[in-house]
Structure 1
Amino acid sequence: MSTHTKTTSTGIPGTIRKLAVPIILVWVAYTAAVNLLIPQVEKVGMANAVSMSPQDAPSVIAAKRMGEKFQESKSDSIAMVVLVGDHPLGEAAHRYYQTLIDKFDADTKHVEHVHDFWGDMITAAGVQSSDGKAAYVQLNLAGDQGSTQGNHSVDAIRTIIHDTPPPPGVRAYVTGPAPLTTDSLEASDRGMIKMTVVTMIVITIMLALVYRSISTVLLILAVVGIEMGAARGTVAVIGHLGLMDFSTFSVPLMTALSIAAGTDYAIFLIGRYQEARQNGEDPEAAYYSAFHGVGHVILGSGLTIAGAMLTLRLTRLSYFNSLAYPSALALIIVVAAALTVAPAILVIASRRGLLDPKRMMKTRGWRKVGTATVRWPKPILAAATSVVLLGLLAMIGYKTSYDDRRYIPDNVPANIGYTAAEKHFSTARLNPDIMTIESDHDMRNPTDMIVLDRIAKALFRIKGIAMVQSITRPLGSPIAHSSIPYQISMSSVPITQNLQFLKERVGDINTMSDDMGAMIASMTKMQALMVKFSNSMHTTVGSANNMVDSAHRSVADMNTMKATLDEMRDNIANFDDEVRPFRNYFYWDPHCFNIPACWGMRSAFDAMDGVDKFSDNMAALQTDMTAMVDGMNAMVNGMADIDTLAPQMVAQFGPIISTATTMQNTLQTIHSSFTGLITQMQQMTDTATAMGEAFDASKSDDYFYLPPEVFANPDFQKGLKLFLSPDGKAARLII
């Protein structure tokens, strides 16, 4: 072995050589502390994850503005809960769905809004599959996609689904953009462990093949382990303190860079050391040769890579700019460890000859390559460029894909949900585009509905768009009965409905005509009877007048007879006064009734007393006869009035019958005219109805119009709440 030694043993390499053991102990202690006292960087990354969506991207701005206008959410995080059944979803599935909706509404910390379409029969068809075996509900979650809060919201939804068992034959899946992002982060974490293990195995195999020394391999792995552990731990500490934001994607890149850079720098140092030893230098001189030979290379390489990683901060996408600080910091830690702990381990190992080369290094082949490159630079450059161009040919068939599902395992929950849902829905159904339209006025009026429908119609006609849902077509097709021809035909519906009543009333007119004819016949008979009555009354009045005259004569004769009777009564009274003593004899004698002559005289005197009673009775009869004659006079006068009125009544029957006959003829004319008019109106309405039914059945999106009264319809108001903002100044279309 040569006795050549390195004369320079001061400065940083000398200090490291003198303090090798403390440096190793410090690095080991530091690495252990930052990994044991602080959560692992994967957990810190999950706790401090930033959104994967660039906040200045138009789509993100539009999504958040829509959430603000509709007062639904403040994030861009959307999840879908899909229900899939072995058979068409029934009442049990609806009850399970409603239970989930109630729990989602109650979890205001993680769920900002629930788009409950399936809970209303009016809008259920919009989120139900055509076979009836699947339905979904869209949730706006708290926190942006990929952020810590967004991931916690996804976990909360999955917890609700896990804690709420579905009915037999029904399965529930949580999928959509936000769960897919969360699953991709978790898959990245799981892949990180596999990547690290596989990488270390590959590195071990490669080192063993190159150095063919277990001690050399183990020492290099120890250096790499300390560098990687220190880098990961330092980043975890900074992230845990909230001084740096990073995504879960920062962890695998940072780890890979730490392993790669740490391995390279260790190989640089040990390779240079072994080269110096083969050149005859002693271990100490070889150490200094190695440090001075690769120290500046390690520093320059590490800082270059760290600076390159820092430039990622200038990018807009969070996928990239969140990689900058963690990766740059990790590279700085790796460089610091490569320039301190790696030389320190080299010093300790060199003292025991653990890193001495086991065989001579073969450099002849590499010298030939270098000689050829120097001698024929242009041909070598051309050949190398040709190889590069051959590789670039693969770019011709390259197509950019934005489908994140292709880059994560099929067995993650979000992909399982997508696969189950796509058996019943199209892929775009669970990942729709949403267009928001804003106005400076309330658009809940017929005019703006026409404008919104024209926009939806124009979108639908773009190639590649399968369906557009909006307030004018909530189920993807135009609202039933919303075409102008149909509404015109609907204007004839009241006429059609009234035609039946009109037919019945026209039939009543015919009945009235018949009844009028019967009344005319009755009035004609009545007229004939009245004529007879008038003649009879006239005869009766003449007879009554004669009877009254006779009565007057009878009263006059009775008055004469009454005067004669009164005179006879007075004379008899005078006679009675003269013979009263003689008369008393006949009343005083108790035996008078036994003496015929006495009793006869007494009876004669009694008869004379009866003349006085007869005179009184005649006076009463005279009074009664006078009253009867007066009554007969009044009756005759009344009968005379009837006799006068009866001809007048008979005279009125003629005009009445004539008028009634004219009315009957008029009714018959009206009946005939309206019967023909009804027939014509029915023919007109039949044509309009057929036109309206044809346009409605065709579901044509031409001639769209909603009348003002539709906006008061409770069912339509439900649609307004779903597709228009509360103030009516914003509308959304689901594409």
Structure 2
Amino acid sequence: MIVLSIERWTAPLAARWSRTIGRRPKDRSVVRFVERFAIVVIGLWALLAGAGNLAVPQLEQVIHEQSRAFFPPDADASVAAARMGEVFGDSDSNNVTYVVLEGVLDGSARAYYDALVAALRADTTHVESLMDLWSDPLTAPIAESRDQRATYVLLRLSGDLGSAEAARSVQAVRDLVTALSPPPGVAAYVTGPGATIYDEFASFDRQMLVITAVTVVLIAALLFIVYRSVVAAAIPLITVGLSLGVARPIVAALGAHGVIEVSVFSTALISAMILGAGTDYGIFLLGRYHENRRAGIDHSDALIGAYRSVAPVIAASATTIAAALCCLSFAKVGMLRSAGIPCAIGIVVAMAASLTLLPALCAVAGRLRLIEPKPSRIARRWRRVGIVVARWPGPVLVTAGALLAVCAVPLFWLSIGYSEVAVQPSSTESNQGYQAAQRHFPAERLLPEIVLVEADHDLRTPQGLIGIERISRRIMEIPGVRAVQSASRPAGGVQPESTLTDQAGRIGSQLASQTSTLEPQLDSIGTIRTTLVRLSGAVGQLQTGLSGGVHGLEQISSGGAELRAGVRAVRENSETLAGYLDPLRAFVANTPDCPVHPICGPVQRIVAPIDGMLSGTGQLSDATGKFDAGAADAGRSLAGATDAVATMRGAVADLRELVDTLTATIDGLMPQLQQMTDYLTGLGGDFAGTAEGGFYLPGSALKDPRFQRVLQLLCSPDGHATRLLVYGDQGSWGRAGATRADQIREAIHEATKEGSVVDVDIHISGVGSATSDLHRYFEYDFRLLAVTSMLLIFVVIALMLRSPVAALVVLATVVASYASALGASHALWRYVFGHDLHWAVPSMSFIALVAVGADYNLLLAARLREESVAGLHTGMIRTFAGTGGVVTTAGVVFGLTMFAMFSADLITIAQVGSTIGIGLLIDTFVVRAAIVPAIAALLGRWFWWPHLWVAKRREGAGFSSISAGLVLFQTL
């Protein structure tokens, strides 16, 4: 139904065009207008180009100010970077850059580093955050190489990767590094992912300018060789030049106002697309014009006939490619997205120039007879080729198909490369920085995957650290992971003091030391027991002595009583005697000079001793009383001491029993203690350096100032999030890094199914995760480009040729040509030069090859349809004679200029150029020259189904059969 509707819709248009060309005197077609006012048309194009470039900033300036990020903001890596900035109160940019210092790290290097860090901190416009590890003694070993000849500082710069702001930030840091002038013997490099993308874009922009200039020179030289006329060679180039002069200001104006997205790829691809398509369109028109002139048609009619034959092909091809390019505005990758609308504008402008400016230039040059065709045998040679294809279409198809299959076979082993480092020259500063780091640090030191793990509780606890170590250990099990730096392993490996076995070994060592110290003390227990035995004997003797003392005191007390009675009797008798002597005392007292008195003197000598005896007797009596009391007290005291000594003797006996028990216990415990000591010590020694043995850090260790610094770096301020740095052993920029990022996410999910850290949110940022995003986006964008392009090609060609079969053949051959070119290019680069095809090559080459391939095949099919009124075989031979030289010229010219890109230092450009060049040669000499006409010959009139041709030629039928597309273009 759709095909019949197309037939019914295009038939009136063809009839209308037949009636139109039948009224030649009243013809008001575009070509007539252009021919009549050729100078005006040329002047208008020149005026538009000049005014546009004067009124609008140059496209390069707009790109420098307006280019957007490489990845969309919803990319996983971009979201992770933003989330880390939010959680840690840090930068949310993914523009990670390093400044690497290499050389003798002496005092001058330290002074330069300090000055650089201070200047970077002061530049808040371009530097959003800075991690200075080398200045802190606690973290300096992490940032300094083991040979002490390299260090680095980590920066997060303003602007997301690929944006104009990011480029300005990287350049500002490099200017600052250069301005401070590193000391002699020290080299400073600005490297890292941000610098890598900056260097790649800068190299692409710089080399594309040179390559474009070389391409123009090559095209001019090849056109001159083909046409042997400077004017004829200049006409396509003038058309291309003015097309660029008009298209670039349009793109710049729209980009400057934010209407469309632009990037360094915009200016490169718009130049390539206009140059390729515009040159092909010019060759098509000049080729048909020369054919008409060789047929004897005058200049004006030759131009009109060429225009009416070629214009529908130009309009259909340009419309198809422009529409497909517009679909790239939905692409995820910034490079493709920014190339879509600008290139579509370029193609539309090139189409407009080819339909107006190009015939105007031909009209002026034709009137002056400056583009007359030169004698050539090319048409005759291609006629022979047409005879072969028409006579033996089956063998030709099989042979050509086999050639395409051979070229496409390497696609089964196609390996896409995602390394933005490998495609750059080794002389770029970012690559030099990577090389410097590689010489002194472990592999991939500057390219870790930064993993953010968020939990619903504080992770700065022993339980939280156990969960972090569980995650770290599971990540370490991933193939290709070299080290994990986390809160549980801040130096990138398991710290011995954080394992239970190491702690057990330390306890065993301490027990052994204490046991050796205790042994002399245990030996003194025997001395104590001996002493206690002696003490017990001494106490027994004391008890016996005290018992004898008590008995003696009792006898003394009894004697004292008798003595006291005797003394009392003596005193009483003395007192009686003293009473008898009272008269004598009175006599002595009253007699003067008693000593010399003969009687008083002797009396006095008798009385005085007796008085002395009486006084002594009194004192003796008092002393006897005191002695008796003292003897009583001593008796009582000795009796209490005897009881105490008895108690003491029992206590000593108990103590001896306890010592005996303790000795027996120690004798049984010491072998067990020695066995436990040996086990713990051996446990610590056996597990030393194995990273096994169970992780545990007590709460007291978390208060250590060194560990507090680690927690500040790796844990969020509230402790609910932590980040881990995962280092691979290679391939962070490639598929290995992308695969590793996906495996890290899966490993964390497995590690948090149970334990102290569960139900976590995971975000991964880094080169590997970005490559994973890029791989996913690349597949999406390529499918989008391929499906829309093929669908549009099919619809437009089906409408133009009024045959879905022909459209399907053209579409299939375009795809086959592309697959063969990609396979051959992959084989060349992988097995000859040792490089995978860069991820941008399939998309960029697809755009170019589909555009050019559709042109060539559409021109061939349209001409074949036009000539088939004379019969299929005859029409095919005429088609080859008429288009063979034209398409070959276009293919060779464009193909050789693409091969000129092979000399570019940026491997991406070289791969794109070689792929497109191979594809153009395949399309020119295999697809267009053999496969499409062979299929048409085999299908016969079914090639044009459902429009079955009548052999009878009607007036104007030749033109009407190919003009529906042009009528639609003119009507619009």
Match of 1:207 among 220, 223, 231: 223
Aligned ranges for residues 164-183 of structure 1 at < 5 Å? 164-183=180-199
Amino acid aligned to 2:94 = D
Question: Which whole-Å CA distance do the structure 2 matches of 1:99 and 1:616 have between them?
Answer: 119
Corresponding position of 2:683: 691
Corresponding position of 2:672: 680
Question: Which whole-Å CA distance do the structure 1 matches of 2:259 and 2:252 have between them?
Answer: 10
The answer as to whether partners of 1:51 and 1:144 remain within 8 angstroms in 2 is yes
Question: Is residue 663 of structure 1 aligned with residue 679 of structure 2?
Answer: no
Question: Is residue 74 of structure 1 aligned with residue 92 of structure 2?
Answer: yes
Match of 2:206 among 190, 198, 212: 190
Corresponding position of 1:41: 59
Question: Which whole-Å CA distance do the structure 1 matches of 2:102 and 2:457 have between them?
Answer: 41
Aligned-pair identity (%): 31
What's the C-alpha RMSD, in Å, of the aligned pairs? 4.3
Question: Is residue 367 of structure 1 aligned with residue 383 of structure 2?
Answer: yes
**More moved, 620-629 vs 245-254:** 620-629
Question: Which whole-Å CA distance do the structure 1 matches of 2:108 and 2:668 have between them?
Answer: 58
CA offsets 1:74-109 (integer angstroms, 9 cap, x no match): 2333223333336xx567656655555554444444
**More moved, 722-731 vs 414-423:** 722-731
Question: Is residue 50 of structure 1 aligned with residue 68 of structure 2?
Answer: yes
Aligned ranges for residues 522-601 of structure 1 at < 5 Å? 548=564, 552=568, 555-557=571-573, 559-560=575-576, 562-568=578-584
Amino acid aligned to 1:42 = E
**CA 1:452–1:363 in structure 2 vs 1: closer, same or farther (change >3 Å)?**
same
Aligned ranges for residues 212-231 of structure 1 at < 5 Å? 212-231=228-247
The answer as to whether partners of 1:73 and 1:140 remain within 8 angstroms in 2 is yes
CA offsets 1:108-165 (integer angstroms, 9 cap, x no match): 4434444555555665555555655444444333322111222223223323433444
Q: For 2:479, what is the secondary structure of its paired residue?
A: coil
Corresponding position of 1:585: none
Aligned ranges for residues 341-420 of structure 1 at < 5 Å? 341-357=357-373, 359=375, 363-420=379-436
Q: Give the superposition deviation at 1:325.
A: 0.9
Corresponding position of 1:143: 159
Question: Is residue 83 of structure 1 aligned with residue 83 of structure 2?
Answer: no
Corresponding position of 1:633: 625
Question: Which whole-Å CA distance do the structure 1 matches of 2:681 and 2:595 have between them?
Answer: 119
Question: Which whole-Å CA distance do the structure 2 matches of 1:636 and 1:8 have between them?
Answer: 174
| Higher RCO structure (Cα 8 Å, ≥6 apart) | 2
Corresponding position of 1:234: 250
Match of 1:298 among 294, 297, 314: 314
Question: Which whole-Å CA distance do the structure 1 matches of 2:223 and 2:115 have between them?
Answer: 60
The answer as to whether partners of 1:50 and 1:318 remain within 8 angstroms in 2 is yes
Question: Which whole-Å CA distance do the structure 1 matches of 2:254 and 2:85 have between them?
Answer: 34
CA offsets 1:636-663 (integer angstroms, 9 cap, x no match): 4223432554466457545534643553
Amino acid aligned to 1:144 = D
**CA 1:7–1:386 in structure 2 vs 1: closer, same or farther (change >3 Å)?**
farther
The answer as to whether partners of 1:506 and 1:675 remain within 8 angstroms in 2 is no
Q: For 1:419, what is the secondary structure of its paired residue?
A: helix
Question: Which whole-Å CA distance do the structure 2 matches of 1:93 and 1:503 have between them?
Answer: 57
Question: Is residue 322 of structure 1 aligned with residue 338 of structure 2?
Answer: yes
Q: For 2:496, what is the secondary structure of its paired residue?
A: coil
Q: Give the superposition deviation at 1:26.
A: 4.0
The answer as to whether partners of 1:115 and 1:137 remain within 8 angstroms in 2 is yes
Corresponding position of 1:506: 522
Amino acid aligned to 2:63 = G
The answer as to whether partners of 1:6 and 1:285 remain within 8 angstroms in 2 is no
What's the TM-score once normalised by structure 2's chain length? Answer: 0.63
Question: Which whole-Å CA distance do the structure 2 matches of 1:342 and 1:434 have between them?
Answer: 56
Question: Which whole-Å CA distance do the structure 2 matches of 1:108 and 1:552 have between them?
Answer: 119
Q: Give the superposition deviation at 1:605.
A: 12
Gap runs ≥5 in structure 1: 577-598
Amino acid aligned to 1:35 = N
CA offsets 1:372-424 (integer angstroms, 9 cap, x no match): 44454444433332332222123244322222223222211112222222334
Q: Give the superposition deviation at 1:684.
A: 1.9
| Structure with max Cα Rg | 1
**CA 1:729–1:216 in structure 2 vs 1: closer, same or farther (change >3 Å)?**
same
**CA 1:600–1:117 in structure 2 vs 1: closer, same or farther (change >3 Å)?**
closer
**CA 1:627–1:298 in structure 2 vs 1: closer, same or farther (change >3 Å)?**
same
Question: Which whole-Å CA distance do the structure 2 matches of 1:626 and 1:320 have between them?
Answer: 139
**CA 1:655–1:449 in structure 2 vs 1: closer, same or farther (change >3 Å)?**
closer
Q: Give the superposition deviation at 1:258.
A: 1.6
Corresponding position of 2:496: 480
Match of 1:28 among 36, 40, 46: 46
Question: Is residue 246 of structure 1 aligned with residue 252 of structure 2?
Answer: no
Aligned ranges for residues 324-339 of structure 1 at < 5 Å? 324-339=340-355
Question: Which whole-Å CA distance do the structure 1 matches of 2:635 and 2:648 have between them?
Answer: 21
Q: Give the superposition deviation at 1:324.
A: 0.7
Question: Which whole-Å CA distance do the structure 1 matches of 2:703 and 2:119 have between them?
Answer: 32
**More moved, 537-546 vs 666-675:** 537-546
Q: Give the superposition deviation at 1:170.
A: 3.5
The answer as to whether partners of 1:481 and 1:696 remain within 8 angstroms in 2 is no
**CA 1:631–1:346 in structure 2 vs 1: closer, same or farther (change >3 Å)?**
same
Q: For 1:404, what is the secondary structure of its paired residue?
A: coil
Q: Give the superposition deviation at 1:185.
A: 0.3
**More moved, 397-406 vs 289-298:** 289-298
Question: Which whole-Å CA distance do the structure 1 matches of 2:682 and 2:114 have between them?
Answer: 42
**CA 1:487–1:337 in structure 2 vs 1: closer, same or farther (change >3 Å)?**
same
**CA 1:634–1:448 in structure 2 vs 1: closer, same or farther (change >3 Å)?**
closer
Count the aligned residue pairs: 703
Question: Which whole-Å CA distance do the structure 1 matches of 2:314 and 2:593 have between them?
Answer: 193
**CA 1:57–1:601 in structure 2 vs 1: closer, same or farther (change >3 Å)?**
closer
Question: Which whole-Å CA distance do the structure 1 matches of 2:143 and 2:538 have between them?
Answer: 74
The answer as to whether partners of 2:239 and 2:357 remain within 8 angstroms in 1 is yes
Question: Which whole-Å CA distance do the structure 2 matches of 1:667 and 1:469 have between them?
Answer: 56
Question: Which whole-Å CA distance do the structure 2 matches of 1:212 and 1:605 have between them?
Answer: 195
**More moved, 74-83 vs 171-180:** 74-83
What's the TM-score once normalised by structure 1's chain length? Answer: 0.81
Aligned ranges for residues 415-430 of structure 1 at < 5 Å? 415-425=431-441, 427-430=443-446
**CA 1:658–1:297 in structure 2 vs 1: closer, same or farther (change >3 Å)?**
closer
Question: Which whole-Å CA distance do the structure 1 matches of 2:167 and 2:189 have between them?
Answer: 16
Question: Which whole-Å CA distance do the structure 1 matches of 2:163 and 2:397 have between them?
Answer: 47
Q: Give the superposition deviation at 1:450.
A: 4.7
Q: Give the superposition deviation at 1:232.
A: 2.0
Question: Which whole-Å CA distance do the structure 2 matches of 1:91 and 1:224 have between them?
Answer: 60
Question: Which whole-Å CA distance do the structure 2 matches of 1:258 and 1:694 have between them?
Answer: 72
**CA 1:101–1:600 in structure 2 vs 1: closer, same or farther (change >3 Å)?**
closer
The answer as to whether partners of 1:437 and 1:731 remain within 8 angstroms in 2 is yes
The answer as to whether partners of 1:303 and 1:332 remain within 8 angstroms in 2 is yes
Aligned ranges for residues 642-657 of structure 1 at < 5 Å? 642-643=634-635, 645-646=637-638, 649=641, 653=645, 656-657=648-649
**CA 1:457–1:540 in structure 2 vs 1: closer, same or farther (change >3 Å)?**
closer
The answer as to whether partners of 1:83 and 1:171 remain within 8 angstroms in 2 is yes
Question: Which whole-Å CA distance do the structure 2 matches of 1:10 and 1:614 have between them?
Answer: 194
Amino acid aligned to 1:84 = E
Q: Give the superposition deviation at 1:461.
A: 3.2
Q: Give the superposition deviation at 1:228.
A: 1.7
Question: Which whole-Å CA distance do the structure 2 matches of 1:455 and 1:651 have between them?
Answer: 75
The answer as to whether partners of 1:141 and 1:150 remain within 8 angstroms in 2 is yes
CA offsets 1:520-549 (integer angstroms, 9 cap, x no match): 566567667767866776676677667655
Question: Which whole-Å CA distance do the structure 1 matches of 2:538 and 2:103 have between them?
Answer: 80
Gap runs ≥5 in structure 2: 1-22, 728-972
Question: Which whole-Å CA distance do the structure 2 matches of 1:548 and 1:659 have between them?
Answer: 43
